Amino acid sequence: MINCLLLSAGLSERFGSPKALAPIAGKTAIEQVQLALLQSSCAKIIIVLGAHADKIHPYIFIHNRIYVVYNKNYYFGQTSSVQVGLKQAENSNGIMLWPVDCPFIQSSTVDQAIDQFEKNGPDILIPTYQGKKGHPPIFNQRLKTKILDLPTGSGLNSIFTAHPPQTIEINDSGIIKSFNTPEEFKKLINN
């Protein structure tokens, strides 16, 4: 059983407005990600909100697989959001991390990554597209304490040295499509 942390707590300073609400084909980025996850074999979707929570909350689906947690320390960055979400993710073999600014990943990609993870049980599994690492990675439950003990300024990449990730090549360019600025977003939408 894999739980997903949908990370949507950031300030979105470079984007100028909440990235979760970026419009994609008549939906917001956060709606797009929720739809993909609900069509996948992911067991529980834990949405981590922080900055702009009041604006984003109306776009969260009411569903028995979706839970919302609030990171009051969101200004410390993504690791703090992962730590808050991780505390809610009990009874799973692994935790998938999906930043809201990666809204183009297909649900079939999620299923392929979960299948591979459950077959091999690596410490970390990272999907790749044409050899480029992307999202959403899956971290084994056995790394939970290590992640919770990370200083908030440290990125999760600091765990990779002791626990080299396994990769899975998936034919989905959405794995490597993310955005931080309106220009980057526009480029993704138009490609």
Provide the CATH number for the domain formed by 2-190 in this structure. Answer: 3.90.550.10
CA-atom Rg of the chain in angstroms? 15
Tell which residue, 14, 96, 115, has the closest CA to residue 48. 96
- Predicted model pTM: 0.95
Residue 128 has pLDDT above 80, yes or no: yes
Residue 189 has pLDDT above 80, yes or no: yes
The percent of the chain in helix, strand and coil, each rounded to the nearest 5, is: 35, 25, 40
Q: Scan for tokens 């939408």, then name that residue.
A: 189
- The tokens for 127 are 């999907």
Q: Are 55 and 8 in contact (CB under 8 A)?
A: no
CA distance 20 to 12: 9
The confidence band for 10, taking pLDDT boundaries of 50, 70 and 90, is very high
SS (H, E, C) 19-63: HHHCEECCEEHHHHHHHHHHCCCCCEEEEEEECEHHHHHHHCCCC
The confidence band for 30, taking pLDDT boundaries of 50, 70 and 90, is very high
| pLDDT tens-digit map of 48-102 | 999 999 999 999 999 999 999 999 999 999 999 999 999 988 788 999 999 999 9
Task: Give percent of the chain above pLDDT 90.
Answer: 90
Question: For residue 154, what pLDDT is reported?
Answer: 87
- The tokens for 71 are 């990171």
12: left (phi over 0), alpha (psi -120 to 50) or beta: left
